Amino acid sequence: MPGSNLTRVEAEERKAVVEAPIHYHVNLDLTVGPKNFGSKALICFNAKPGSSTFLDLIADEVSSIELNGRAIDPATAFVDNRIELTDLKEKNEVTVTAKCRYSNTGEGLHRSVDPSDGNIYLYSQFEVPDARRVYAVFDQPDLKATFDFKVLAPESWIVTSNMPAASVEADPRETLDGTLGEKPNESTRLWSFETTPVMSSYLTAICAGPYAEWHTEYHNEDGRTIPMAQYCRQSLAEAFAKDVDYLFDITKKGFAFYAKTWGVPYPYAKYDQIYVPEYNAGAMENIGMVTIRDSYVFESKVTDALAERRVVTVLHELAHMWFGDYVTMKWWNDLWLNESFAEFTSTLATAEATEWHDAWATFCSGEKSWALRQDQLPTTHPIVAPINDLNDTYVNFDGITYAKGASVLKQLAFYVGRTQFFEGIHNYLIKHSYSNATLADLLDELAQTSGRDLKAWSAKWLEQSGINTIASAVEENENGTIAELKLTQTAPAEHPVLRPHRLAIGFYNEDEATGKIVRTDRLELDVDGETTVVAEAAGKQRPAFVLVNDEDLTYTKIRFDAESLAFAEANLHRFDDALARAVTWLAFWDMTRDGEFPAERFVDMTLRLLATETESTTFRYALACMSTTAHHYVAPAAREQVLRHVAAELWKLANAAEAGSDTQFQLITAYLGYGEEGDSAFAANAHGLLDGTVSLPGLEIDNNFTWTIVNALASVNEFDEAEIDAQLAKRDTTENREFALGARAVRGLAEAKEWAWNEALNNAELTNAQLEAVARGFSATPRPDLAEPFAAKYFETVDWIWANKTYHMAEALLNGLYPGYADPATLVELGDAWLAAHADADNALKRLIVENVASSHRTLKVREYNAAL
């Protein structure tokens, strides 16, 4: 059998054999020991008589298999993570008893020990297909089933699942037939949960441990009362208690907004949100019990950008309860339907139902910039991506699936009309409730409510790769009015499709009363084909700035006419509207990374913007893109001078910023990323911030910011390993261990890089979060001399990583250990050679390597452009 990488063909073949109803009785024993837990699954299902199929299971040991009353030898039936089932009847029962392994990689059932108090916390993560790491299962989304979960756990723990607990019994070991381990010293309790509705296995969930808990309820639009709960580790309870009421309120606003917008009340029995440690993703939409990374529990000051992102994440997962859970994709090629829709509607809900009214500016700067970067890589793919197997799915949790898809859905809603769009969504949800659906099903409903034929639209927008560019050109009359405003749409040669766009054009001028740049006119039109003349613009006074795609209504790159470009470069910091600033800034960033706009001018323009920008996510991304430009894109001869210039300006801006503000916090954090070994002024500033001899009004040196300073000092060899260990000893927590590992790895020493490289690859005791911290620290020191020795080593190690690590850990290593500060010409040469020699490698592996090497190709190209200026 081909093992854990299920193919689409195999899934279709199994779907043709296994028939509804399917029901699981899953018993888990969490008292067996620190490495393993007991798993016993009884699966009842219908099938075509005489047929054969298989169950998925990743387990250390299978002790028994019984199919329709006959015992099957596990030694022959359990092979390569599958259990073969033969000679099936019309109605079947199979029981599998196994010993499964806790993970420390965030896959399956993750076990985390909090060093601050010794508490053990468990949580499950089953997307893409990791329910099979916990119980025997037909682990594919279109074999929906009902589930009964029973969990034996220590008495001091709480256990949560998708449904409310039906009963909690004291020490009832006999109910599990005595097959699941020795009785522990601590008394146990058996948690039995109510039967789930019909659902996909990847959405089932179990969390267990001594979590702190808070409860409230929501009065649902259908008259039911929905119990709500939030959980976190005990060591975070004091900090989390300050935010619980706010997060409950955000969630309730989401309930109301979605029920009103889609006309479908929340469909499930309860709604828990549990903040868990060492999480690979942002969150996961398990039915009735969402898991969220507990870095969203804020013990220390965070940026407003991160605070807003937490709100969007909460609303994103809530949106999935309808879109993804209530109606689920048939196969992973429609993963985008889940993620794009949740990303689009959570941004809409954030903008319209919470205090974060500039959420679309946030989306443009953060999510859309991610989409544009992803869509210009050699690995770009259609939104509806071809998914041949599970490995293809793993790499498609990307900027196309989330951000481009959400941008295109925003365009679709504008294209068909908001009322018609959400009426179609309502009909889609009602028609396919508790079942599986496809893109065609969704488009059918939208076509009926809008009256538009969406097949041609879908073919160009959803089924073709790449991004268009729309450039504006203005011809003026002698009196300063517009003779002609023309838009020209182009497409990259490798993806030559021109798309229909419904968009707006904004005219911007200075408001003499305020000195701000404001919109003075707005035109709305359809753009299709190569050339569109904006007839409505003729005769209007030429504005100072013409913004194509005003309000960011479509998904495209934009290029300005010459006068608009010059005006925006000089005046972007004076634009009054946050979304207009974000759209314009993103165009400048795209031109910079395409080698069409000088890097040093982009740096200076960004510094002017940072002096006045108020939208936190735009601020955050402007800082990040300026850093990439200064470190990678400027001409090599100018790099050192530009880096010192940026550092000096950031220090000035931080000292001039409002005391205690988000702006001050982001600026000083960014400044600490520009240290150079031997820079005595930087070392004095950083040491002074740490010991209190240097201070900025209102800036609190809390736990996380202390580690930011430690990291900065370690990178320039002003903080050694013993000092890092002493800092950790002051407060040994899950988070601080990760910070300490990152600080050790970021040190500007060859031996520190060797240590980090070996630790990341070979220390199996590192958790997923610790491994990522080490890998980040390894690659974060901006010194080519430290990165160069690992260029060849990286490509020599790729195959070993892929063969010996789970997908998520391989991804973390292959991205985190890529020595991006090495000479890009060397990386390009080595990377192209590896790809040429690995034409037959797994597509998912090749994609990871292609994307890293593509970044070096771009760096080389853009450096050459700037060096030639």
Give catalytic residue positions.
317
State how far the Cα of 383 lies from the Cα of 460, in Å rounded to an integer.
Answer: 10
| Closest by CA position to 856, among listed 800, 784, 808 | 784
SS3 sequence of 504-537:
EEEEEEECCCCCCEEEEEEEEEEECCCEEECHHH
Torsion over CA: 28, 33, 35, 36 (sign): negative
SS3 sequence of 224-248:
CEEEEEEEECHHHHHHHHCCHHHHH
Eight-class DSSP state of 326: T
Number of other residues whose CB lies within 10 A of the CB of residue 75: 8
Torsion from C-alpha of 400, 401, 407, 411, nearest 10 degrees = 110
Long-range contacts of 850-855 (CB under 8 A, 24+ apart): 850/377, 850/378, 850/379, 851/377, 851/378, 851/379, 852/814, 852/815, 852/818, 852/820, 853/827, 853/828, 854/377, 854/378, 854/379, 855/820
Residue 568 host element (H or E): helix 562-571
- Pair 314, 254: CB distance under 8 Å: yes
Q: How far is CA 220 from the centre of its chain?
A: 29
- Is residue 717 classed exposed, middle or buried when 0-12, 13-18 and 19+ CB atoms within 10 A define those classes? middle
State how far the Cα of 541 lies from the Cα of 674, in Å rounded to an integer.
Answer: 45
Q: How far is CA 224 from the centre of its chain?
A: 33
Residue 363 host element (H or E): helix 359-363
φ/ψ of 250, rounded to 5, equals -60, -45
Residues 6+ apart with CB under 8 A from 680: none
- Pair 715, 708: CB distance under 8 Å: no
| Closest by CA position to 445, among listed 323, 305, 541, 543 | 323
State how far the Cα of 667 lies from the Cα of 806, in Å rounded to an integer.
Answer: 37
Query: Which tokens hold the place of 139?
Result: 């682990």
Number of other residues whose CB lies within 10 A of the CB of residue 701: 17
Helices and strands in the chain, H and E counts: 30, 29
Residue 561 host element (H or E): none
Task: Compute CA distances 365 → 353, 354, 358, 475, 573, whole Å.
Answer: 20, 19, 11, 31, 15
Sheet holding 36-47, edge to edge: 70-72, 61-67, 91-101, 36-47, 18-29, 146-154, 188-193, 165-170
Query: Which tokens hold the place of 315?
Result: 């609303």
Q: How many residues does the chain have?
A: 869
Residue 644 host element (H or E): helix 639-656
State how far the Cα of 128 lies from the Cα of 811, in Å rounded to an integer.
Answer: 15
| Closest by CA position to 675, among listed 687, 661, 662 | 687
